[in-house]
Amino acid sequence: MTIRQAISIGTEKIALRWPETPYLDATVILAAVLSSTREKLLASLNDPLPQNTYETFLRGVEERAAGSPVAYITHHQEFYALDFYVDNRVLVPRADTEILVETALGFIKPGSRVLDLCTGSGCIAIAIKHTVPEARVEASDISEDALAVFRRNADAILSGQIVTYKSDLLKSVPGKFDVIVSNPPYLTCTETAKMRGESWPEPPLALDGGTDGLDFIRRIIADAREHLAPGGRLLFEADPAQMDDIKLEFEKYKYNDIIIRKDLAGRDRVIAGCYSGKD
């Protein structure tokens, strides 16, 4: 059995259920099994593959064919050019969320106090702190499981450096911030149920935003006024179809200077508002 043959078999098995990127998925899984890079793997296609390694690879292929994201199989996901550990306790970081980080960075200076709300894997908070080390970055999540993943990533990438809070949104978070950034649950109950019915493995707690997907966003917009310094910014990632409703909610609570940023596909994905400190 050569590496080339193993990849071919893995690609065929994955393609039966997930025809979009089966070759990419198979090569990423095998590279992880070999503790190698995909580039090195593709330069070694004619090398022999030990039987026990092949069997480990096939187990990963079967997981992928059953619907598990590649990142849950390899426990690695790149985000903002950093390598994050992920498993089924947290969402897999998406490339579109990098737009949220880039938008937030436009408001962050050395010394700014920043909160990443609903942090999950910590990809947003850690990417911000890595980019602006002088910022005072903190993070919170209601899930202790998610915070465990966060701490693992913060230790690996930043040697710690980020204060965390176990909190139902802002309830247990002290003080005021210059920037609050959040990728909260924003799928509808129906969308979440459909994904769970299809055995989607990401945690429902991080997906389900209520009947219209905006339950958490509404709460955050209302409560953040007590946690933003005058002129502070509140930023969300959300569904493009929700942007008009979120903008109205911002306006209802007297946020101004509302901006919307598009994702990689040209869809509205990030929205930000400024709170003056006056109702």
Domain boundaries, the chain: 3-74, 89-275
Domain 3-74 fold? Helicase, Ruva Protein; domain 3 (1.10.8)
Other CB atoms within a 10 A radius of the CB of residue 274 amount to 18
Do 28 and 74 contact (CB within 8 A), yes or no? Answer: yes
Q: How far apart (Å, rounded) are the C-alpha atoms in residues 91 and 203?
A: 7
Phi, psi (degrees; rounded to nearest 5) at 277? 100, 0
HSE of 218, CA atoms in CB hemisphere, 13 A: 11
Q: Considering the domain 89-275 in this protein, what is its CATH number?
A: 3.40.50.150
pLDDT tens over the chain, length 279 residues:
999 999 999 999 999 988 899 999 999 999 999 999 999 999 999 999 999 999 999 999 999 999 899 999 999 999 999 999 999 999 999 999 999 999 999 999 999 999 999 999 999 999 999 999 999 999 999 999 999 999 999 999 999 789 999 999 999 999 999 999 999 999 999 999 988 887 788 898 899 999 999 999 999 999 999 999 999 999 999 999 999 999 999 999 999 999 999 998 999 999 999 998 776
